């Protein structure tokens, strides 16, 4: 049984799902430190939750910059994100006031 | 432009970090980060910069990424295996390990000790203060640089009433109090505080209560005192029943109302820590007047706590209204502006000075650490040569280059870990010694905390990497086949070059440090032999505080001085005696505005001259030469106001004219000049020639006095005589701070002396380490080349030739190291310039002998192995 995904990892996966495709984009949209995002991407790739591909050289040249490495969710990554999100939602529900778990 | 430089720096950093990434993934890694950086630069120029992180912060993330990739494949087992292997290797060479670990420990410990000083003084707010980040210092400016000095009581009241941004404005003034009666008298440093002081600091009492607004209502009506933990333990043995008891403070009984919590030493990081707190309402001015309506009496330092929800910027803006109110309240406040500084502990200018000193010390400590790392790296290289066969075999058996590098770096890390542990006692001892050596008393504790230990860990890690990487680099690059074929005896040109470079660097750093130490030492010596304009030898001074009794009006103060002088004159061992309001070089000094009578009073014509009030016989007692006219006669003979001026003032006010008979005005009183004396150094050794005016003791009566005794016997005898003489006039008057003026001279260069001691320690360390390094290098070279030398001897070379061959190499290294070291020395000299006295930063008189010393020592270190080369035994060397 693999360890459940942490909150930070879920944010990165969600950022990729929502269209952030390369490291800087994810850093900017999540507000996480670059020193957190890049190693996390490496781990996710190793775990098969994201895949990466190099941008087309001609596309990059048209935009006047070096080619980027783009990340995308794999099927497994998408599934892990859904699972993780619903588990997080459960946790939040327990913690929020007015729920059964709240202290009266 | 700036973007260009930033991005170039970022690219260099990326390339440097990329060497951590395994070679097969390095290109890809660099390409990805390069593209990300380019995208960031593009994004930041398009006006959406806010959404993106700064370039430096962004690129900093490359390091953890690279480390992650590098360590990705490591398993706990392989790491443990490396560590075990490294420990075994190090244990097998105990001599090498001990020397390497000890030198590293010294380098690491020196850095951490200096960091603990910086931590205690600058990073950590004084202990016991609640949420110190919400406290601001109050200073003022008159359209110039802000001043962080004292305020008047009405000004504090006005700001406190006006400023909605603050939840309270605290004010305090340092003072020396005299506790107890009879034999039990003890001078104690304390604070006069207003009612908000403890509330603003958020301090809770350990016992009883602290002082509050109710303790600052009416002048003289609050005879209550709060004790510090230290005073409570020292004087009352920590008795919990102390609250409610009576303590004599000066001549008055005070009720003890509480004890401050442990570790609380007031809001200042520097200065004598306060041991008691008394309401400021108990304070009177020197002549008995109350200072509470006086806009002109500035005696309170102020700080405030920001109200909940108010930001620092809002508080700064709110000061405009307070400034206007202040200007309207009194014409003494013309042009005044209230300025704030965040934080507490050090005032901004103290912070500046401390930063300068700690940067300098930090730089020296880093140099020493680099030197020790170079030395240990060199030791590793030497051993790597000896272990070349082992490494070659492991490589041939299929160990990857990365694996081997890791193994060698692990050895450096294990060594550094041992060194770090060895350095812990050094840090504890070092920070204690540093706080004792500090030129002013340190109020706060410098004991290492978590931050110091984290720093220690980081330095240890860096030291391990630095000393392990160089040997790993060269060893891993070596050609397997060649190593095995040659039996591991040759070093390879690249490694020899690396070792030479390391030794030259060590020599250069040593020369820089030794010459820095010599410059500072020279300055201290110069200070000792300097002519201060008076004769400091056999001069004993002691402070006499009439103010603490509260019983002396001006007439009584003059009478006291007459009686004391009569009692001291003619005592055995006392050749001459005089009283003054201040002593040269020691304690506080006062200046007062004067102007020549012929020019009207005004900001343009007047100057701030040293204000010195003396009894007759002062100039004779101190040995200050009289240049013209006369000195003061007895009080009865001087009915009209007269002054003696110094040469600097005479030249300033009446250039080229006769100053005798001229008049000058101070606070509306006209004084006639009756004499001119030579200039003396009043405050420090650096400021000879400041204008000064000497007044007669009965015309400007003082309640804080300094007795000057020209003695013929030992200091303690004179001190005892002074104490007894004062007690016979008035037993309640305390005498404190009795010292020798020679000592005072040296103390005026305390900062230089402290640094001189520290730099000398570091320099000695550096010199020994680098000489050991040079010796090791040359000695190792001789061993390596013994076969070659044997052949040379067999072919008829004279033994002297061989020694010369060895010495020539040592000389080349030493000369190169000296040349580079002169550059380091000059740079360090320039950094130290403010602390030097009577010697220039690049003085040939210092650099010359130091260079000669280093060259001589280096050649001596090389001579021992050279002699061995000369005696090489052909048969032995060829057979081996």
B64 touches chain A (CB under 8 A): yes
Pick the most confident of A66-70, B431-435, B440-444. Answer: A66-70
Nearest CA distance, A4 vs chain B (angstrom): 20
B71 touches chain A (CB under 8 A): no
Looking at residue B488, its pLDDT comes to: 47
Residue percentage of chain B with pLDDT more than 70:
91
Which residue of B lies nearest to A54 if distances are taken between CA atoms? B32
Pick the most confident of A88-97, B67-76, B110-119. Answer: B110-119
* Beta-strand pair B276-279/B186-193: parallel
Name residues whose C-beta falls within 8 Å of residue B873's C-beta, 6 or more positions apart in sequence.
B790
Query: Does the pLDDT value for residue B756 go beyond 50?
Result: yes
| Nearest CB partner across the interface for A65, out of B39, B57, B62 | B39
Average pLDDT over residues B261-286: 86
Query: Under an 8 A CB cutoff, do A22 and B36 touch?
Result: yes
Average pLDDT over residues B845-863: 89
Which of A35, A53, A68 is best to mutate for the B interface (most B CBs within 10 A)?
A: A35
Query: Does the pLDDT value for residue B566 go beyond 50?
Result: yes
Residues in chain B closer than 8 A to A25 (CB atoms): 39
Spatial CA neighbour of B729 closest among B558, B525, B600, B599: B558
| Nearest CB partner across the interface for A42, out of B35, B53, B69 | B69
Name residues whose C-beta falls within 8 Å of residue B744's C-beta, 6 or more positions apart in sequence.
B536, B541, B583, B584, B585, B586
B60 touches chain A (CB under 8 A): yes
Residues in chain A closer than 8 A to B43 (CB atoms): 24, 28
Query: Does the pLDDT value for residue B857 go beyond 90?
Result: no
Residue A101 has a CB neighbour count (10 Å cut-off) of: 11
Average pLDDT over residues B291-299: 78
Residue A104 pLDDT grade (very low, low, confident, very high; cuts 50, 70, 90): very low
Looking at residue A102, its pLDDT comes to: 44
Q: How far apart are the first and last CA of chain B?
A: 64
Query: Does the pLDDT value for residue B603 go beyond 80?
Result: no
- Identify whether the C-beta of residue B33 lies closer than 8 Å to the C-beta of residue B11: no
* Beta-strand pair B186-193/B246-249: unpaired
SS3 label, residue B722: helix
Query: Under an 8 A CB cutoff, do B36 and A24 touch?
Result: yes
Helix (H), strand (E) at residue B177: strand B166-179
Average pLDDT over residues B845-860: 90
| Nearest CB partner across the interface for A24, out of B40, B62, B64 | B40
| Nearest CB partner across the interface for B65, out of A25, A38, A68 | A38
Looking at residue B193, its pLDDT comes to: 95
Average pLDDT over residues B191-208: 94
Residues in chain B closer than 8 A to A24 (CB atoms): 36, 39-40, 43, 52, 58
Which of A21-35, B592-606, B630-644, B810-824 is predicted with the least confidence, judged by mean pLDDT? B592-606
Residue A40 pLDDT grade (very low, low, confident, very high; cuts 50, 70, 90): very high
Looking at residue A3, its pLDDT comes to: 65
Nearest CA distance, A86 vs chain B (angstrom): 29
Residue B321 pLDDT grade (very low, low, confident, very high; cuts 50, 70, 90): confident
Looking at residue B670, its pLDDT comes to: 92
Query: Under an 8 A CB cutoff, do A65 and B52 touch?
Result: no
- Interior/surface letters B719-746, b for 16+ CB within 10 angstroms, e for the rest: bebbeebbeebbebbbbeebbbbbebbb
User: A50 pairs with which residues across the strands?
Assistant: A73
Residues in chain A closer than 8 A to B68 (CB atoms): 38-39, 42-43
Looking at residue B5, its pLDDT comes to: 67
SS3 label, residue B46: coil
Looking at residue B520, its pLDDT comes to: 85
pLDDT, mean over chain B: 84
Query: Does the pLDDT value for residue B139 go beyond 70?
Result: yes
Spatial CA neighbour of B162 closest among B353, B357, B327, B365: B327
Nearest CA distance, A91 vs chain B (angstrom): 30
B68 touches chain A (CB under 8 A): yes
- Identify whether the C-beta of residue B464 lies closer than 8 Å to the C-beta of residue B416: yes
Euclidean distance between CA atoms B543 and B61, whole angstroms: 60
Nearest CA distance, B7 vs chain A (angstrom): 14
Nearest CA distance, B43 vs chain A (angstrom): 10
Looking at residue B377, its pLDDT comes to: 84
Residue A68 pLDDT grade (very low, low, confident, very high; cuts 50, 70, 90): very high
Q: What's the pLDDT tens digit per position in B507-541? A: 898 898 899 888 888 887 887 777 788 888 889 99
Count, residues in chain A: 104
Spatial CA neighbour of B294 closest among B247, B344, B330, B346: B330
Spatial CA neighbour of A51 closest among A28, A31, A80, A21: A21
Looking at residue B877, its pLDDT comes to: 66
The yes/no answer to whether this complex scores an ipTM above 0.90 is no
Which of B39, B49, B72 is best to mutate for the A interface (most A CBs within 10 A)?
A: B39
> Which residue has better confidence, B572 or B172?
B172
Looking at residue B405, its pLDDT comes to: 78
**How far from A82 is each of A44, A89, B269, CA to CA, in Å?**
15, 11, 55
Residue B747 pLDDT grade (very low, low, confident, very high; cuts 50, 70, 90): low
Residue B500 has a CB neighbour count (10 Å cut-off) of: 18
- Identify whether the C-beta of residue B586 lies closer than 8 Å to the C-beta of residue B736: no
Average pLDDT over residues B691-705: 91
Euclidean distance between CA atoms B466 and B469, whole angstroms: 6
Query: Under an 8 A CB cutoff, do A38 and B61 touch?
Result: yes
Which residue of A lies nearest to B49 if distances are taken between CA atoms? A28
Query: Under an 8 A CB cutoff, do B35 and A33 touch?
Result: no
Average pLDDT over residues B106-123: 86
Looking at residue B289, its pLDDT comes to: 65
| Nearest CB partner across the interface for A65, out of B35, B53, B72 | B35
Query: Under an 8 A CB cutoff, do B32 and A39 touch?
Result: no
Residue A100 pLDDT grade (very low, low, confident, very high; cuts 50, 70, 90): low
Query: Under an 8 A CB cutoff, do A67 and B72 touch?
Result: no
Query: Under an 8 A CB cutoff, do B61 and A24 touch?
Result: no
Average pLDDT over residues B90-116: 86
Spatial CA neighbour of B539 closest among B395, B384, B653, B706: B706
Which of A28, A36, A60 is best to mutate for the B interface (most B CBs within 10 A)?
A: A28
Query: Does the pLDDT value for residue B2 go beyond 60?
Result: no
Looking at residue B815, its pLDDT comes to: 93
Q: Between vectors from CA B514 to CA B511 and to CA B517, what angle results, nearest 5°? A: 150
- For B96: left if phi > 0, alpha if psi spans -120 to 50, otherwise beta; the answer is alpha
- Interior/surface letters B587-609, b for 16+ CB within 10 angstroms, e for the rest: eebebbebbbbeeebeeeebbeb
Query: Does the pLDDT value for residue B411 go beyond 70?
Result: yes
In sequence order, what DSSP letters do the residues of B751-814 get, joined into one string? HHHHHHHHHHHHHHHHHHHHHHHHHHHHHHHHHHTHHHHHHHHHTT--HHHHHHHHHHHHHHHH
Nearest CA distance, B33 vs chain A (angstrom): 9
Average pLDDT over residues B583-609: 74
> Which residue has better confidence, A46 or B359?
A46
Query: Under an 8 A CB cutoff, do B35 and A28 touch?
Result: no
Query: Does the pLDDT value for residue A37 go beyond 50?
Result: yes
Q: Residues of A near B (CB-CB distance < 8 A)?
A: 22-25, 27-28, 33-39, 42-43, 46, 60, 65-69
Query: Under an 8 A CB cutoff, do A39 and B64 touch?
Result: yes
SS3 content of chain B, % helix, strand, coil (to 5): 55, 15, 30
Which residue of B lies nearest to A61 if distances are taken between CA atoms? B35
Token pair of B874 as six digits:
């052909």
pTM as predicted? 0.68
Helix (H), strand (E) at residue B609: strand B607-614
Q: Is A13 exposed, middle or buried (0-12, 13-18, 19+ CB in 10 A)?
A: buried
Query: Under an 8 A CB cutoff, do A22 and B35 touch?
Result: yes
SS3 label, residue B330: coil
Which of A15, A39, A60 is best to mutate for the B interface (most B CBs within 10 A)?
A: A39
Which of the 8 DSSP states describes residue B587? Answer: S
Residues in chain A closer than 8 A to B72 (CB atoms): 42, 46
Which of B212-226, B273-287, B412-426 is predicted with the least confidence, judged by mean pLDDT? B273-287
Looking at residue B355, its pLDDT comes to: 79
Helix (H), strand (E) at residue B225: strand B224-227
Euclidean distance between CA atoms A27 and A35, whole angstroms: 10
Looking at residue A101, its pLDDT comes to: 46
Q: What's the pLDDT tens digit per position in B30-69? A: 999 999 998 888 888 776 777 788 888 888 889 889 888 8
Which of the 8 DSSP states describes residue B700? Answer: S
Euclidean distance between CA atoms B649 and B655, whole angstroms: 9
B57 touches chain A (CB under 8 A): yes
Query: Under an 8 A CB cutoff, do A35 and B51 touch?
Result: no
Nearest CA distance, A66 vs chain B (angstrom): 5
């Amino acid at each position: 049984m693999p360890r459940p995904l942490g909150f930070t990892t879920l944010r990165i996966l969600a950022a990729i799902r929502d269209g952030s495709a390369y490291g800087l984009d994810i850093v900017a949209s999540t507000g996480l430190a670059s020193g957190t995002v890049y190693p996390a991407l490496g781990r996710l790739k190793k775990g098969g939750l994201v895949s990466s591909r190099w941008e087309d050289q001609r596309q990059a040249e048209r935009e006047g910059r070096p080619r980027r490495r783009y990340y995308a969710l794999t099927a497994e990554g998408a599934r892990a994100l859904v699972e993780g999100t619903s588990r997080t939602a459960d946790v939040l529900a327990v913690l929020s006031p007015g729920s059964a778990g709240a202290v009266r | 432009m700036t973007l260009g430089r930033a991005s170039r720096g970022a690219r260099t950093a990326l390339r440097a970090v990329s060497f951590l990434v395994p070679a097969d993934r390095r290109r890809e890694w660099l390409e990805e980060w390069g593209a990300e950086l380019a995208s960031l630069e593009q994004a930041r120029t398009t006006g959406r910069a806010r959404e993106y992180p700064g370039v430096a912060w962004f690129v900093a993330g490359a390091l953890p990424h690279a480390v992650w990739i590098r360590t990705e494949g490591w398993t706990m087992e392989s790491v443990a295996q490396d560590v075990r292997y490294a420990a075994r290797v190090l244990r097998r060479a105990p001599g090498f390990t001990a020397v390497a670990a000890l030198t590293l420990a010294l380098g690491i410990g020196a850095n951490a000790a200096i960091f603990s000083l910086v931590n205690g003084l600058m990073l950590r707010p004084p202990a016991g203060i609640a949420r110190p980040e919400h406290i601001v210092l109050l200073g003022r400016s008159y359209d110039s640089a802000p001043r962080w000095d004292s305020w008047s009581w009405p000004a504090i009241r006005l700001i406190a009433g006006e400023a909605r941004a603050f939840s309270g404005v605290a004010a305090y003034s340092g003072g020396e109090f005299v506790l107890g009666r009879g034999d039990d008298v003890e001078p104690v440093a304390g604070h006069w505080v207003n009612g908000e002081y403890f509330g603003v600091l958020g301090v809770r009492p350990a016992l009883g209560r602290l002082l509050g607004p109710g303790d600052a209502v009416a002048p003289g009506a609050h005879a209550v005192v709060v004790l510090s933990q230290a005073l409570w333990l020292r004087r009352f043995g920590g008795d919990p029943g102390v609250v409610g008891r009576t303590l004599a403070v000066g001549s008055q009984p005070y009720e003890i109302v509480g004890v401050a919590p442990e570790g609380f030493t007031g809001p200042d990081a520097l200065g004598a820590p306060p041991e008691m707190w008394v309401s400021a309402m108990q304070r009177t001015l020197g002549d008995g007047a109350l200072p509470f309506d006086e806009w002109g009496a500035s005696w309170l330092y102020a700080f405030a706590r920001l109200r909940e929800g108010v930001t620092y910027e809002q508080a700064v803006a709110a000061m405009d209204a307070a400034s206007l109110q202040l200007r309207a309240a009194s014409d003494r406040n013309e042009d005044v502006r209230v300025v704030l500084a965040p934080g507490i502990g050090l005032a901004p200018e103290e912070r500046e000075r401390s930063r300068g000193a700690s940067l300098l010390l930090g730089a020296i400590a880093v140099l020493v650490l680099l030197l020790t790392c170079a030395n240990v790296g060199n030791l590793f290289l030497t051993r790597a040569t000896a272990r070349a066969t082992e490494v070659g075999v492991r490589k041939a058996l299929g160990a990857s280059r990365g694996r081997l590098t890791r193994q060698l770096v692990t050895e450096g890390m294990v060594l550094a870990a041992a060194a770090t542990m060895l350095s812990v006692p050094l840090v504890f001892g070092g920070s204690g010694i540093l706080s004792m050596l500090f030129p002013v008393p340190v109020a706060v504790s410098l004991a290492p905390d978590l931050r110091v230990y984290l720093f220690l860990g980081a330095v240890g890690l860096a030291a391990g990497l630095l000393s392990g990487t160089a040997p790993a680099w060269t060893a891993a690059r070596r050609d397997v086949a060649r190593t095995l074929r040659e039996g591991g005896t040759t070093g390879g040109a690249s490694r020899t070059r690396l070792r030479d470079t390391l030794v030259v660097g060590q020599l250069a750093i040593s020369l820089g440090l030794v010459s820095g130490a010599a410059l500072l030492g020279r300055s201290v010596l110069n200070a000792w032999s300097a002519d201060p304009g008076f004769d400091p030898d056999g001069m004993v001074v002691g402070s006499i505080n009439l103010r603490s009794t509260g019983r002396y009006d001006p007439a009584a103060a003059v009478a006291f001085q007459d009686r004391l002088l009569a009692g001291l004159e003619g005592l055995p061992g006392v050749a001459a005696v005089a009283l003054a309001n201040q002593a040269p070089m020691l304690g506080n000094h006062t200046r007062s505005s004067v102007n020549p009578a012929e020019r009207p009073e005004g900001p343009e014509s007047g100057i701030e001259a040293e204000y010195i009030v003396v009894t007759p016989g002062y100039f004779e007692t101190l040995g200050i030469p009289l240049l013209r006219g006369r000195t003061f006669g007895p009080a009865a003979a001087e009915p009209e106001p007269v002054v003696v001026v110094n040469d600097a003032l005479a030249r300033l006010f009446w250039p080229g004219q006769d100053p005798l008979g001229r008049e000058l005005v101070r606070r509306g009183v006209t004084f006639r000049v009756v004499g001119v004396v030579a200039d003396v150094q009043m405050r420090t050794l650096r400021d000879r020639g400041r204008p000064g005016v000497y007044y007669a003791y009965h015309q400007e009566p003082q309640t804080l006095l300094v007795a000057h005794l020209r003695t013929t016997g030992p200091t303690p005898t004179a001190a005892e005589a002074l104490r007894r003489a004062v007690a016979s006039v008035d037993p309640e008057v305390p005498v404190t701070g009795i010292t020798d003026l020679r000592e005072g001279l040296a103390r005026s260069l305390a900062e230089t002396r402290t640094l001189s001691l520290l730099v000398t320690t570091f320099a000695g360390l550096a010199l020994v380490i680098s000489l050991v390094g040079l010796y090791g290098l040359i000695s190792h070279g001789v061993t390596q080349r013994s076969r070659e030398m044997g052949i040379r001897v067999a072919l008829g070379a004279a033994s002297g030739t061989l020694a010369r061959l060895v010495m020539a190499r040592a000389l080349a290294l030493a000369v190169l190291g000296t040349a580079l070291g002169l550059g380091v020395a000059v740079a360090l000299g320039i950094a130290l310039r403010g602390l030097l006295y009577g010697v220039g930063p690049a003085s040939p008189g210092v650099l010359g002998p130091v260079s000669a010393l280093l060259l001589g020592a280096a050649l001596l270190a090389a001579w021992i192995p050279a002699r061995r080369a000369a005696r090489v035994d052909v048969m032995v060397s060829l057979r081996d």
